[in-house]
Each structure stands twice: as C-alpha cells, then as structure tokens.
Amino acid sequence: MDINSELQKKVYKLFEEGTIKRFIGYEKGSLPYKTRPCIITKKEDVNRLIFDQFCVNNLSIYLRGDLEKTGILANMCTLKSIVALLQGNQVKPENLYILAVNCPGMVDPDKAELSSLPAQTKLMPFGYKNLYDKCKACHHELPKIYQDLIGEEISVACEPVDEYAFIKDMEKLTQDERWKFWEKQFSKCIRCYACRNVCPICYCKECMVDKANPQWVSKLNQSSTNEYYNLMRVIHVMGRCTDCGECERVCPVKIPYRKLIKKMEKEIKELYGYVPGKDPKELPPLSTFKEEDPEKGIK
Amino acid sequence: MRIGVFICHCGTNISGVVDVVKLAESISHYPGVVISKENKYMCSDPGQNLIKSAVKEYNLDRIVVASCTPKLHENTFRACLEDLGLNPYMLEIANIREQCSWVHSDNPELATKKAEDLIKMAIARVRFAKELTCSKVTIERRALVIGGGVAGIQSALDIANAGYHVTLVERTPSIGGRMAQLDKTFPTLDCSACILTPKMVEANRHHLIKILTYSEVEEVSGFVGSFEVTIRMKSRSVEMKKCTGCGMCQSKCPVKVDSEFDEGLSKRRAIYMPFPQAVPNIPVIDRANCRYFLEKKCGVCKKVCPSDAIDYDQEDTILKEKFGSITIATGFDLFDHSAYGEYGYGKLKNVITSIQYERLVNSSGPTGGHIIRPSDGKEAKKVAFISCVGSRDNKMGKPYCSKVCCMYTAKHALLLKEHVPDAEAYIFYIDIRAAGKNYEEFVYRVQENYRVKYIRGRVSKIFEEGDNLIVRGFDTLSGESIEMEFDLVVLAVGVIPRKDSDSFARMLNISLDANHFVGELHPKLAPVEKNTPGIFLSGSCQYPRDIPESVAMAGAAAVKSLSLFAKEFLTSEPMISEVNTSICTGCLNCKNICPYRAINEEEIKDLDGKIRIVAKVNETICRGCGTCVASCPSQCINLKGVSNEQILAAIEAL
Amino acid sequence: MDNNNQQTWEPKIYAFLCNWCSYEGADLAGGGRRIYPANVRIIRVPCSGRIDPVFILKSFERGADGVLVSGCHPGDCHYTEGNYFARRKFVLVKKLLEYVGIEPERFQARWISASEAIKFVETVKEMTENIRKLGPNTKLVKNIKEEITCQ
C-alpha cells in the first residue's frame, strides 16, 4: 500500500471512531513539489492528505492553544517539537493523537534539480545529497510518544553526517573572523521575526521583542540591535530547541540560524548529556542542575 | 515622579575622596531629580531630619541615598521613609563608600565620576520602584512529627511541653525506633531501654501528644503555617479501645515469622507486639502472614481474646489534618552487607551484623544475652569485629563515614569481654573516629582495660573452615598479612538513608542530598531546617547521628516549630516573585526551578471564559532569590524590588 | 562615559553581584581599603540565579567593555540552589559569546564569597588590565547617536 492511502485510511478510521475531531497534516500545494499544511475536520476530506519528501513544515505550531481532540501527522521534526511542547505543558497529551511517520528526510529545493524530475507526490528516492542538512544528520530514532506509525522503516542508505561539522570549522576561525562572519549575517536581518513566528517553542503569549515596558530589545533595525536580537533569541531557545530548522528555512535573508543554535545544542550535549526532543518527562537542561556540573571558565 | 538625592560625606570617609559638593550640584540637574543635597552624616538624626524636611518641602515620592553599603543603613533609611508615611521600598542606596571612596582613594577624579555613575544607576532603579507590602497568614499551631524513634519522641515532647498539640506518626506498631533495639549505649553503658522507655511512656501519657503507630503519612500539601496532611492509619485488626495488652493472642497464634525487632534472630507471631515494652501496648495482625487472612481459617486470636478486641474487618482509617510545621525524624536503614563478596555475600551463617549483635547481647533478646553463634548455638569465644562495612567505601557508593560504628564496635568488644570474660576480641578498622564527649577515653579504656586488640587494615576475605571462620587481612601497621580463626564475625554495617527516602521526598516535595539523606537548608547555619519553610529535621534522616546528637537535633527542631508558633501570624517577604498571569504560558519551568517549591500551578479564567493553567507564587514561601525570574522563558515573572525594569534601567543609565 | 575618545577611554565593566556573597566580598574590599581600578559598576542582585543572560547582552549593547557575574561558591548559595542554575547559564553564555567572536576576556564569571575581598579585587584588576589591552568593545555595541538621529 502506498503511504498516502495508508495515511488516508488511518485518518478516516480515526474520524469514524470519534477518536479525533480534527487532523493536522499536509496537502498538495499549488506549485509542483510544494506541500502545505492543512487541517481537516471531517472524514470526507481525508483524500486531501498526502505525505512525501516535501512535507517540511513543522506542524507542531498548529497545536497551540486549547485543543479539542486533535490528530497530527508527525514527521521526525514535528515529533521532536511535540516533545518540547509536552515538556513545556503547552499541549495536553490526552487531547492529542499522534500519527507518526517513518520520516525519510525532506528534500531541500535549493539542492535538488527539481525541473529534471517528473511531477509526482508520492515517496520517491531523491537521493541522499538532496536532503536538508538537518535531515542528513538525522539519526532516525523517533521519540516514542506516538499512538500510531505509518510508512516503511527507513534504512539509512548512508551514515548520518557529522551534524556538528560546520561548528567545528567555525571554531577553527579566530575571534575576529568569527565576529566578522556573524556580523555580516546579522546585518542582513530585516527584523521580520519570521524565525520567531515559525518557531514551535516560541509559544510566549507576548514576545520579549514586542515588549515596551521594559524594552528588552530596541526596535531599531540597526546592526548592533540585530546582533543583540539574534543572540537573545539563541539564549531564549537554548536547551529547548529541537533543531527543526524552520527558522533557517523561512528566513528571507538566509541567516544560517542552525549554525548558531547547533553550537549550543552541542555544548549542552557535551556538558550535561542532554539531547533535546527525546523524552517529554525529562527536564530541559536549564531547568535542572547537578552539583557536579562542569564549570570550566568559571573561576 | 519626584526624586530626592541625598549624598553623605560620612565624615571625610566619602568626601575625602569624592567631590561630594560638586556631585550634589551635577546630580540636581539629572532628569527626574527634584532636589539633591549633601550632609556630613546622612544616617545621623540631623541627616535624617534633612531628608524628612526635604521630602515634605519638595513633595518627594522616592529617594536615593548615596552613602555606605546598603547592608548598614538600608533599614535606617527605610524606617525614615516609613516615618514620613511613604512606602519604605521607594528607596535606593548608592554604595559610594565601600565600593567607591574607600577603594579608589588613589584617583579622586575617577572616583567622583564613578560615584556619579553609581548614583545615576540608583536613580534609574528608584524610578521603577513600586510600593511593596507584606501579606499576613495565620498559623495552625499544631506540629506533625514523622518518625517515632528517639529523635521524634524528643521533638514531640519538647513541643508538647511548650503547650502545643503534636501528632507523632510512626510506621511500625510501636514507637521506640532503633534505640529500642540497642543493648547498652556508648560511652556511659547506660541500658538503652532503661533510658528510652520512660520517654516513650511520657510521650504516650502526654495530653498534648497524639501517637499514631502503624500509620504512614501519605500526602502533604500546603505550606508553612498550614500543611494539609493525609495520614493512613493501617488497620491493626485489633480494637485499640478494647485491647488490654494481655498478650494472650500472641501466645496462642500458630504462625511464626522472623522477628523484625530481633533482626531475624527470633520468631514472632502473626499477631504480635514488636517488643514487650511496646508503646502502645497493643498488638497488630500482620495480614501478609496471618492464616485467617491468607486462608480464611484459624481465628484463634479472636477465640482466645478475653476482651473481644480482635476485628478482622477493620479497615484503614484515613486522617486529614492541618499542621503548622512538620518535623522529619524518619531515621535510617542499615547497609546490606551481601554486597560484599569478601565477606561472603551475606551467606556465611556466623557472619552477623552489628544490629544483630545488639540483640544477641541484650538480656531480653533472643538468647537472653548469651553471645552464641547462629550456626550451632555454641558460645563465641573469639570474635572479629570489622568496621566500615558500607561506609567510607566509594566502590559501594557510600563515600561517607557512618559516624557511630567506631564507637559501637568498641562497645561491642567491651560487652563481649563482660559477657564472656575469657573471650578474645579483635577489631579490624581503618581509622578510629571517636570525636565526642568521653568517646576517646572510652576507646582507650576498651583497648587498655579490656585488652581488645585493634588491627588496622581491611579484611580481604572471610571463609568457612570447619565450624569456624577464617579471616584473612593485612595489618598495615606491622606490614604483615594475617590469617586468623574466629567463632563469630560481626560486621559494623553502615548507616544508610531509608530505602524509600526517594518516594518520601517526592511526597513531601523536599530535596535529598547526594547520598539521599534529607538535605538541610544550610550545612552550618541551618542544620535542622529544610529549604521548604516549616519543615524541620531531626536525627539520622539528615546524616548518621548518635543518640546525644539526635536528641540535641530534636530539641533544635522543636524550637524551630515553637518560634513559628510563637508568632501571631506569618508575614511574607516584601521582595518576592510575582507572576503576570495575563502572559504566563503555564509552562511551569519556574515550578521546577524554585529552590523552595514556592510555585504551583493555578487555574484561571480568561476574559473569554476559557480556563488555563498559570504559575502561582506562594507568598509565604518565596524568599525572593529571583532564579525563577531569570529562567522564565516568557519574562512573565518579576521580582518585586529587583525587577527586570529596574535592572535594565540601571544598565541603561550609563 | 565618553567611549569615543581613545585617549580618555577607560574600560567600563558591569558587575552583577549576588547580595549575600560577592556583594559582601566587594564591601569587605572597601572595609579593608583595598585599592582597585575605578572601572567597575556594581549592580546588586539577590542571587546569581537572578541574573538573566539577557542582562549580559544588554550590558554589552549599552557599551560595557566587560561584564562580570559573580555569586556564592557552589554549595554555599544563600538560597541553596540559585547559583547552580546560574552556573549552567553562565557556562553556556560564555560559550555562545566566544563562538560569535566576542573576546572571552570580556565576559567573566566568578565565585566570590563574602570573605574573598582579595579575590574580588584581583578579579577587577585582572579584567581591567585585560580589557585595556583589548581596547573598547565594538561588537554588539549600540551606537546611541545613531539611535538619536533615527528618532
């Protein structure tokens, strides 16, 4: 059975049994090779649902607020974000039906030569090299928080790449070279806040950057305030970010956010042995401590 | 906003370095500053009068005092504001003495500049000052003591003797605890039961003490002054009001199981009192072993009971009560030596633990005080005592010293010599730790007068040969290996936390230390307090303690309860956290972080009628550390008096 | 402070000190009349746990040449645990700042007890000297004049 009919059949059954009142998934987009999130509320609509290697949007952001019984199609990144949402008490597990999918990794349209491929929406091998960087580094271990699972098990054709390779390269640079790099990146920022809006863990009711009293960040679009804003965002999400890469994907000026936040992820992993997006019962690293925590750098 | 700035010369302490007059002049032009004055001694009466008249004259609503450290005179100036009818927290101190004039006397120019910066920062902070008040909470003047050992009994007595109600909860059928099991006590060799029993009786007779034995605390909520506690009184299957304690039932009961009190060296019945002096003097039916409950047969106890006190249908009673304070006196467990392969994995019959030995030497114990070995009942003539079994051993995960073993081992050897004068006693030790009143002298007496042989070194192997045990070891003082034959080996097993300490801590929502003992608030200055206000510690739940220490802690813990009860009401700290519920996302990160467990969840109704969960700070518990504030992802908690606005304003002031 | 004039430039260091240990340590340095450079501006907070990492960024943005954060030694926190939470934040912020290219000398975290006046003095001396060598901080610093013209 192909994955779409499996998906549609399962969701149809969920509606029929009354397990869910709505379902969050993907449907075909208006352009070839594009999909878009969709929310369906009746079983007759299940044939809109699809899953392929272009379903890159992190659907967990549609889980905010007080939900009635909701089903969600969760790829790897969505699943990990749901773990973070559960850690932060942002979704009630009893209102959630997670239909996980054995995630094959998503195709980066910037990498693939799409025009040379036939238009189709079912799962197909796009080749390892065309995947998003985050997918290339993915270890394919789904956090066990789902109620059901679809899709064939993924056999990884190629060993995951070193997810911290670019960080190690960056660390070889001198202090000033690094600053030059980031200064250039941040100077592109137009403060559209797309990175914030798409971030699954930016669930604050009122964002720090929007606060006027006290004003944490100046609203000026000036290089220093942009640097400040972007670093503040890193501090804000460190330890909670599950590396879904949405901020980087949606950034209109292509600031390589993952190069920044992955650094914190790496440090947290090395210092505190914490890997995000695994266990909803685990406390995020900044919400706990051990007496014997390393304190290199503090004298 | 009308700010007054008052700069102190502190004699010449400040003005000798900082140009105070110039400073007062330049600050007076600062936005928001209505008046800026200097004075020789701002803290003196003339200085304070200057502030008072300026506040009245210029209608000031907040003031900055630039003077010595706030640690000295913050309260002086707060009182000054209070006299004026202003809120005492509309004040900031700029520390221009300790942190400026005294340390920058080499460069008056830079010092003056720094003083100006410090005052600017204080002005920035005081702009965002808010009126703060304390809230008052009533106190339930009743104490709960968990654990009926000597520490718990003493705490209960001390509180009750001061005139307050105490409920003493004990898990086993009788109070008395570990001390009731002991024979003699070091270094005085008082009979343990002789000094404990009067206390047990006194507690039982006390009109303000309610003893709940065979009971456990199941749930604790609330906070200092009003803890709501659920206690489960397990069914004894014996009606306490009817039972006279005649003991007929236990003599006729056909079931025999290992006695917990005698550490498995004797048998008790299924209906039993743990020991003859038990308080209350009323048996319980151990339903897990009773034939009536297992097979619906027997019923002998009911038949023989002269007062018809047996009630097989009795059910657990759940008690819900309010207490102002909780004292934890849950005591300790002992290390299970079967973890040691070199000591025979607990399988060698004639290797016993120190607490078993206590029962053996006790004249009311299973052998009537005869030191006989378990394998064949022969009197032990040559006994090895091995210390530090499950103490000071990283390999076993017990890095700490159990503190009491050196002393009781010396006592054990002495008692051996007294019971069996021709016996030989060898003690294998690492170090002798005898810090305590008359402890060192006691050990010396054991060595010199009783000729107990101390061998410094660890034992590497114990094994059976024939009827006897061979102990192999190394004498580190003579540098020789030793192999000796013994009738009996006594292991000084270490003191460990209660095995259920983790779940107990979760129930009380308190923290444990690295060794899973109940951690104290401060290792030096608050050893009997928990970081949760209103919860106090007594005895070995905190760390291995001997009897005098446990009793002293019990008194100290009682005083903490009493000083709480002596207050008319509890006042909260004014500078504490508050949640802006309109933007709280209810992630409850703060709840996980709060060192005092002062934050809980609360359901609120939004304007649209939807119910959502937000964090709520308990004002009486919060101490105002602000860790939650700096950790809130939504910046929706703020610390009153040291708010985000104030700190950011200080940063931006320069 | 006038940061633009290279000749009169003096390093500006913000110090966030916990009320119970480090602030007392600084007070003790005063009581002992121990001279140290007048470059440090102390901000008193109840506990090192109170220090929001954003305060550190904010300080740099507002022209600090260095930031010192200090609290009680681990295990000695007046509030028992605040400094343990702070420690994780400090370690991570330090890593972050170094990663984006801000000189490590500019952000320092120290445990200073109420009795360690000398440690406080030495820390301030060391930071001031190191930062003097580095020169004024130009990274992350908001150009206030630019803001004024914009407004």
Give the closest of A183, A260, A271 to C91, CB-based: A271
pLDDT at position C150: 42
> What confidence category does residue A126 fall into, taking pLDDT thresholds of 50, 70 and 90?
low
Mutate to test the interface with A, among C91, C97, C131, C149 (most CBs of A within 10 A): C91
d(CA A248, CA A254): 7
> Alpha-carbon distance C1 to B654, whole Å?
7
Length of chain B: 654
Residue A117: is its pLDDT beyond 80?
no
Q: Is A175 on the interface with B (CB under 8 A)?
A: no
- Could you tell me the two tokens for C94? 């330090």
Pick from C103, B27, B634, A270: nearest CA to B38: B27
Q: What is the dihedral sign for C-alpha A123, A124, A125, A129?
A: negative
Q: Determine the pLDDT at residue B289.
A: 94
Is residue B228's pLDDT more than 50? yes
Beta carbons of C27 and B98 less than 8 Å apart? yes
> From the list C53, C87, C99, which residue is nearest A178 (CB)?
C99
Q: Which of B515, B535, B568 is the last residue of a domain?
A: B568
The 10s digit of each residue's pLDDT in C30-79 is: 989 999 999 999 999 999 999 999 999 999 998 899 999 999 998 888 88
Could you tell me the pLDDT band of residue C149, with boundaries at 50, 70 and 90?
very low
For residue range B437-460, list pLDDT tens digits in order: 999 999 999 999 999 999 999 899
**Same domain as B440, residue B462:** yes
DSSP class per residue in C1-44: ---S-TTT----EEEEEETTTHHHHHHHHHHTT----TTEEEEE
CA separation for the pair B643, B115 (Å, rounded): 23
DSSP string, B15-56: TTTS-HHHHHHHHTTSTTEEEEEEES-TTSHHHHHHHHHHHH
Q: How far is B590 from chain C (nearest CA, A)?
A: 12
Q: Which of A177, A232, A291 sits opposite C57 (nearest CB)?
A: A232
Give C126-132's long-range contacts (Cβ < 8 A, gap of 24+). C127/C11, C127/C13, C127/C40, C127/C66, C127/C68, C128/C11, C128/C13, C128/C36, C128/C37, C128/C39, C128/C40, C128/C66, C130/C66, C130/C105, C131/C11, C131/C13, C131/C65, C131/C66, C131/C105, C131/C106, C132/C11
Written as one string, the DSSP assignment of A231-265 is HHHHHHHTTT-----HHHHH-TT---HHHHHHHHH
Instruction: Look at residue B495 in the predicted model and tell me its pLDDT.
Output: 96
- Looking at A112-116, B197-201, B315-319, which range is the least confident one? A112-116
Residue pLDDT, tens place only, B257-312: 999 999 999 999 999 999 999 999 999 999 999 999 999 889 999 999 999 999 99
Q: Do B589 and A291 touch (CB under 8 A)?
A: no
Domain edge (last residue) among B127, B159, B177? B127
pLDDT tens sequence across B548-602? 999 999 999 999 999 999 998 888 889 999 999 999 999 999 999 998 888 999 9
B625·C36 Cβ contact <8 A: no
Rounded CA gap, A201 and A189, in Å? 21
CB A109 within 8 A of CB A32: no
Q: What is the 3-state secondary structure (H, E, C) of C57-111?
A: HHHHHCCCCEEEEEECCCCCCCCCCHHHHHHHHHHHHHHHHHHHCCCHHHEEEEE
Query: What tokens were used for B292?
Result: 């009536």
Q: Residue A143: is the preceding peptide bond cis (ω within 30°)?
A: no
Residues 122-141 of chain C with CB under 8 A from chain A are 123, 139-141
In chain A, which residue's Cα lies nearest the Cα of B593? A287
Residue C22: both structure tokens together: 């480090």
Contacts of B110 in chain C (CB under 8 A): 10, 38
pLDDT of B550 reads 97
Dihedrals phi, psi of A155, to nearest 5 degrees: -100, 125
Owning domain of residue B408: 335-496
Give me the domains of chain C, ranges plus CATH numbers. 13-150 (3.40.50)
Q: pLDDT band for position A115 (50/70/90)?
A: low
pLDDT at residue B165 tops 60: yes
Is A90 in Cβ contact with B633 (below 8 Å)? Answer: no
Cα separations in angstroms, B372 against B354, B463, B470: 14, 19, 18
A contact set with C (CB within 8 A)? 170-171, 175-183, 208, 216, 218, 220, 222, 224-225, 227-228, 231-232, 234-235, 238-239, 260, 263-264, 267-268, 271-272, 285-286, 289-291, 293-299
Summarize pLDDT for A43-67 with one digit per residue, the tens.
889 999 988 888 899 999 998 776 7
Please report which confidence band the pLDDT of residue C2 belongs to, taking 50, 70 and 90 as the band edges: very low
At residue A79, the pLDDT reads 93
pLDDT for res B506: 82
Mean pLDDT, all residues of chain B? 93
Asked whether the predicted pLDDT for residue A122 surpasses 50, the reply is no
Interacting residues of A16 by C-beta distance below 8 A, sequence separation 6+: A43
d(CA B107, CA A125): 73
Indicate the pairing of strand A70-74 with strand B3-8: unpaired
Per the model's pLDDT, the better-predicted residue between A124 and A260 turns out to be A260
Average pLDDT over residues B121-131: 93
Q: What are the Cα distances from residue B413, in Å, to B21, B389, B444, B487, C49? A: 79, 17, 12, 14, 52
Mean pLDDT, range B216-234, rounded to an integer: 91
B95 touches chain C (CB under 8 A): yes
Structure letter (DSSP) for residue A77: H
Amino acid at C126: E
Percent of chain B past pLDDT 90, that is, above it, reads 85
Of B583, B586, B593, the CB nearest to A206: B583
* Half-sphere exposure (Cβ direction) of B291: Cα atoms closer than 13 Å: 13
d(Cα C131, Cα C66) in Å, to the nearest integer?
7
Tokens 């034959």 belong to which residue? Answer: B485
Give residue ranges of C with CB < 8 Å to any B CB: 1, 10, 12, 14, 24, 26-27, 29-31, 33-36, 38, 41-47, 49-53, 55, 58-59, 62-64, 75, 78-82, 85-86, 89, 121
For residue C121, name the pLDDT band (cuts at 50, 70, 90): very high
Q: How confident is the model at residue B648 (pLDDT cuts 50, 70, 90)?
A: very high
Closest CA to B373 of B495, B298, B469, B279: B469
* Mean pLDDT of the B389-414 span: 95
Contacts of B654 (CB under 8 A, 6+ apart): B117, B120, B121, C1, C12, C41, C62, C63
Chain A interface mutation, best of C55, C59, C85, C88, highest count of A Cβ atoms under 10 Å = C88
Band (B547; pLDDT cuts 50, 70, 90): very high
**CA-CA distance, B636 to B581, in Å (whole number)?**
7
Paired sense of beta strands B577-579 and B136-137, if any: unpaired
- Å between B169 CA and nearest CA of chain C: 29
Q: Contact C143/A224, CB-based, under 8 Å?
A: yes
ipTM confidence: 0.92
Question: Bigger pLDDT: A221 or B24?
Answer: B24
Cβ of residue C99 closer than 8 Å to a chain A Cβ: yes
Identify the band that residue A127 occupies on the pLDDT scale cut at 50, 70 and 90. Answer: low
Distance from CA of A213 to the nearest CA of B (A): 7
Q: Give the model's pLDDT for residue C6.
A: 57
**Are C74 and A295 within 8 A, CB to CB?**
yes
Rounded mean pLDDT, A187-215: 90
Distance to chain B for A273, nearest Cα, Å: 19
How distant is the Cα of B205 from the closest Cα of chain C, in angstroms?
A: 40
Of B75, B100, B127, which residue sits at a domain end? B127
Q: Within 10 Å of residue B397's Cβ, how many Cβ atoms?
A: 11
Q: Does pLDDT of C1 surpass 50?
A: no
Point out the least confidently predicted range of A66-80, B235-249, B475-489. A66-80
For chain C, what is the mean pLDDT? 88
In this predicted structure, the answer to whether residue A153 has a pLDDT above a threshold of 90 is no
What confidence category does residue C5 fall into, taking pLDDT thresholds of 50, 70 and 90?
Answer: low
CB contact at 8 A, A196 and A209:
yes
Q: B182 and B326 share a domain?
A: yes
With beta carbons under 8 A apart, name residues in chain B contacting A90.
Answer: 585-587
Q: Residue B150: pLDDT band by 50, 70, 90 thresholds? A: very high
Contact A231 C57 (CB under 8 A): yes
Q: How far apart are CA B351 and CA B357, in angstroms?
A: 10
Q: Which residue of A has its CA nearest to C119?
A: A299
Residues C49, B625: C-beta atoms closer than 8 Å: yes
Q: With 80 as the cut, is the pLDDT of residue C22 above it?
A: yes
Residues whose CB falls within 8 Å of the CB of residue B189, separated by 6 or more in sequence, listed in order: B411, B414
Closest CA to A195 of A136, A132, A237: A237
Which residue of chain A comes nearest to B611, CA vs CA? A66
A240 inside 8 A of chain B by CB = yes
Closest CA to B329 of B556, B550, B597, B562: B550
B531 interfacial to chain C (CB closer than 8 Å): yes
- Indicate the residue of A216, A263, A298 with minimum beta-carbon distance to C109: A298
E strand map for B109-246: 136-137, 142-146, 165-169, 184-185, 190-191, 209-212, 215-223, 226-233
Can you give the pLDDT at residue B610?
85
Mean pLDDT of the region B636-643: 93
User: Sign of the CA dihedral B353, B358, B361, B365?
Assistant: negative
Cβ distance of A214 and B631 shorter than 8 Å: no
Q: What residues of C are in contact with residue B103 (Cβ under 8 Å)?
A: 29-30, 33-36, 38, 121
> Minimum mean pLDDT among A211-225, B22-36, B93-107, B625-639: which range?
A211-225
Q: How far is B161 from B207, CA to CA, in rounded Å?
A: 10
The domain spanning residue B193 has which CATH number? 3.50.50.60
> Which of A237, A286, A288, A293 has the highest number of chain B CBs within 10 A, making it the mutation to test binding with B?
A286
How many C-alpha atoms does A13 have within 13 Å on its Cβ side? 9
Report the alpha-carbon distance of residue B96 to residue B103 in Å, rounded: 10
User: Is residue B156 a contact partner of residue B132, using CB atoms and an 8 Å limit?
Assistant: no
Same domain assignment for residues B396 and B467: yes
Residue A158 has what pLDDT?
A: 58
pLDDT at B619: 86
Cβ neighbours of residue B114 closer than 8 Å, sequence gap 6 or more: B100, B104, C38, C41
Smallest Cβ distance to B585: which of A205, A214, A236? A205
